[in-house]
Structure 1
Amino acid sequence: MTVLETRIIDIFVDRRMDEAYAFASRPENFPEWAAGMSSSLHREGDRWLAETPLGQATVRFSPPNAFGVLDHWVMLPGKPMIYIPLRMIENGNGTQVMFTLFRQPGMDDMNFDQDAAMVRKDLSALKRLLEQQKPAGNAGS
């Protein structure tokens, strides 16, 4: 069994978890904050597809759940499936978002560092989006 090196990348979002999860769990919202989920992400039947420089990717998302799980799996032509564990947990009145980055087989240090930097950028974009939205129930405020 191959064990992959991991990095846990996390960020605190000043937004209630139920509200943060309601936004982040919708696949159609991923392109708004996840650069790797290009603007070409679209649903085709029961599958989500995205155009990438490496070809068309099929993306599978975890079903909506009460546990803050936002895992997804990316399949590229001729490549092993990439598993992306992503979690949201309640932290006080806000939400802790945690991304587990796996170092892919054959990935050098520079590419792993670049991948981690992209994840940090994506999580920062999610934080900005969530913190800029008006909280539910305060639409008239």
Structure 2
Amino acid sequence: MGPSSRHISIVVERPASEVYDFAADPLNLPQWAAGLADAEVTRVGDSWVTESPMGPVSFTFAPPNGFGVLDHDVTLPSGQVVHNPLRVIADGSRCEVVFTLRQRPETSDEEFERDADAVARDLTALKSVVETR
């Protein structure tokens, strides 16, 4: 059996466009995405760079769009690029934010569970920050 995927989601009691606009701004990442950016984010060319729990990483987001797609590619300190699907899905006056976590072949089940817990914490932080703005 190949690597598995898990969809981790949270309902946010704010309009999708508001959540998308906030989450799409890389400068806001330290406020909610500790798994990716736990320090200041700076722009370098077409990419963004920050210090992460894994060490220095760079990332690029999907171009701005009206579909709620916030996919982003993260270049790890090893040079490996990880694609992270992220969506903001409208649901009336609220939305659902869905992150698809993929287990890479070199990732143990225990590491995958830790990653899933970290993503869930990040989404909970996003919900908290956006709902209390």
State if a TM-score over 0.5 links the two structures.
yes
Match of residue 30 from structure 1 = 29
SS in 2 for 1:107: coil
CA distance in 2 between partners of 1:60 and 1:114 (Å): 24
Native 8 Å contact 2:73 2:83 kept in 1 = yes
Match of residue 59 from structure 2 = 59
The change in CA–CA distance for 1:122 and 1:54 in structure 2 (over 3 A counts) is closer
Question: How does 1:84-123 map onto structure 2 within 5 Å?
Answer: 84-123=84-123
Is structure 2 residue 43 aligned with structure 1 residue 49? no
- Counting matched residue pairs gives 132
Q: Deviations along 1:36-93, whole A, 9 cap, x unmatched?
A: 2221321123321122455432211111110000110111243421010000011121
Q: Deviations along 1:7-32, whole A, 9 cap, x unmatched?
A: 00000000011111111111111111
SS in 2 for 1:59: strand
The change in CA–CA distance for 1:120 and 1:3 in structure 2 (over 3 A counts) is same
Q: TM-score, normalised by structure 1?
A: 0.86
Q: Larger Cα Rg: Structure 1 or Structure 2?
A: 1
Q: Structure 1: state its 5+ residue gaps.
A: 134-141
Runs of 4+ in 1 over 3 A off after TM superposition: 52-55
Match of residue 7 from structure 1 = 6
Native 8 Å contact 2:101 2:116 kept in 1 = yes
Match of residue 16 from structure 1 = 15
SS in 1 for 2:123: helix
SS in 1 for 2:70: coil
SS in 2 for 1:121: helix
**How far 1:126 moved relative to its partner?**
0.2
